[in-house]
Amino acid sequence: MELVFATQNLHKKDEMEALLKGHTLIMPRQLSVDYSFDETGSTLIENALGKAMHLYRLCKRPTIADDTGLFIDALGGNPGVRTARYGEDHFGRLLESHERNEYLLENMKGITGSARSARFACALALVLDTQRIFVFQETLEGMIASEPDGREGFGYDPVFYLPSQGRTLAQLSSEEKNSISHRARSAKALLALIDSFEKGD
């Protein structure tokens, strides 16, 4: 199936394409679609569904969209739905990934051990038409590392430590990450659904 992916982020597109093997992802700009969406929802599901629906209205083709958040217990669940905009209120501008990680670690100073627990969550929405809409959400449990480590992945991956792996997400290969991540788990459910449609189940 050919799906239009509601993102301008090539990293996300490449990662999602690897997860949805056998299906083709197209970015809006490849269709000359002027796509932008203000993520004002109070949940990841609201944002993912809002993006997918908005893009569907623009292109009238099957669309998918995701919204991912990092939820840290010691910070009251923050950055949460504002994960990509974390620190913007403090600095008055959108931060680069490494700056967000530095700001996060600064805010975690003095917090030790199990109190550094956190989870990634990924909501993934599929819109086939205005009456056929599906949403999945999965999580990945971990901890906030004391310092960044690893060169793979993107975003908060260098500071998200997986006790079961003994490494951060950024220290995993793309294949390893795509076998366990929050996005991978949501994509697996989506893939099973799409495949069932194509088989006529």
Which whole-number Å values give the CA distances from 147 to 1, 101, 143, 150, 167, in the listed order?
Answer: 41, 9, 12, 10, 12
Catalytically annotated residue among 67, 73, 129, 157 = 67
Residue with tokens 């194509």: 198
- Worst-scoring range by mean pLDDT, 28-32, 83-87, 195-199? 195-199
- Please state, as a whole number, how many other Cβ atoms lie within 10 Å of the Cβ of residue 37: 15
Q: Where are the domains of the chain?
A: 2-199
β-partners of residue 69 are 121
Q: Is the pLDDT of residue 174 over 90?
A: no
pLDDT at 201: 58
Query: For residue 191, what are the contacts with CB-CB under 8 A and spacing of at least 6?
Result: 19, 20, 21, 23
- Which has the minimum average pLDDT: 43-47, 95-99, 197-201? 197-201
- Say if CB 41 and CB 137 are below 8 A apart: no
> 32: pLDDT confidence band, cut at 50, 70 and 90?
very high
- 3-state secondary structure labels for all residues of 41-62: CCCHHHHHHHHHHHHHHHHCCC
Find the mean pLDDT for residues 142-162: 94
DSSP annotation string for the chain: -EEEE----HHHHHHHHHHSTTSEEE-GGGGT---------SSHHHHHHHHHHHHHHHH-S-EEEEEEEEEEGGGTT-EETTGGGTTHHHHSSPPPHHHHHHHHHHHTTT--GGGGEEEEEEEEEEEEETTEEEEEEEEEEEEE-SS---SSS-TTGGGEEETTTTEEGGGS-HHHHHHHSHHHHHHHHHHHHHHHHHHT-
pLDDT score at 9: 83
* Region 38-45 average pLDDT: 92
Q: Are strands 2-5 and 63-72 parallel, antiparallel or unpaired?
A: parallel
Can 73 be counted among the known catalytic residues? Answer: no
Contact at 8 Å (CB) between 41 and 81? yes
CATH of 2-199, picked from 3.90.950.10, 3.90.550.10, 3.40.50.300, 2.40.340.10, is: 3.90.950.10
